[in-house]
Structure 1
Amino acid sequence: MKHRILLLALPLLGCGSAAELRPAPGDALPVAPYGANATPTPEQLLTPTTQQRPERSTELLRRSEERRSDEFDLPPE
């Protein structure tokens, strides 16, 4: 049974490609965004911005701390 699974999985191992991404023959890159001076390269299009992948804070809270007073936290009138 294990051999069958291995034989079925072998064709899937070659699916990933390490070559540079390029548009299909006869196709062009997307047009430049409105207001941009140049068309972005494939590398620029694939690089996520900080808004798409924000950095996470991994700093752990080691001890509890008092909150500072909030001048704008007023009771309702």
Structure 2
Amino acid sequence: MKRSALLLAVVAALALSGCGVKRTLKPLAGHVLPRAPYGSGYQPNADQLIKPPVEARPERNVDVRVRSEERTDDPFDLPPEN
């Protein structure tokens, strides 16, 4: 029992040790990156291709509410009908 638990712990540690590895992305041997977008003057590299555009992950820089406020009565907040 102890031996299998130790073996499982070693395997888990080895598997997790590779999770933090960061290196530059490059295409596999024999493959190339996609062509530059039509009308673009530059060819994006692999890191630029996987980075989501600003529209996909916008940054929030203004908080709409700066303090808690009492809610006003909402005429559309009705209980469910049976």
Segment of structure 1 superposing worse, 55-64 or 9-18: 55-64
Aligned 1:4-19 pairs, distance under 5 A: 4-16=7-19, 17-19=21-23
Match of 1:20 among 15, 18, 24: 24
Q: Could you tell me whether the CA contact under 8 Å between 2:35 and 2:43 is conserved in 1?
A: yes
Q: CA deviation at 1:4?
A: 4.7
**Runs of 4+ deviating beyond 6 Å:** none
Q: Which runs of 5+ in 2 are unaligned?
A: 71-82
Aligned 1:62-73 pairs, distance under 5 A: 62-64=67-69
**What is the root-mean-square deviation in Å for CA atoms of aligned residues?**
3.1
TM-score using structure 2 length: 0.54
Indicate the residue corresponding to 1:74 in structure 2.
Answer: none
Higher relative contact order (Cα pairs below 8 Å, separated by 6+ residues)? 2
Indicate the residue corresponding to 1:50 in structure 2.
Answer: 54
Partners of 2:69 and 2:53 lie apart in 1 by 34
Q: CA deviation at 1:64?
A: 3.1
Aligned length: 67
Superposed CA offset, 1:19-63 (max 9, x none): 211111221111112222232112321322211111135734314
Q: Which runs of 5+ in 1 are unaligned?
A: 66-77
TM-score using structure 1 length: 0.57
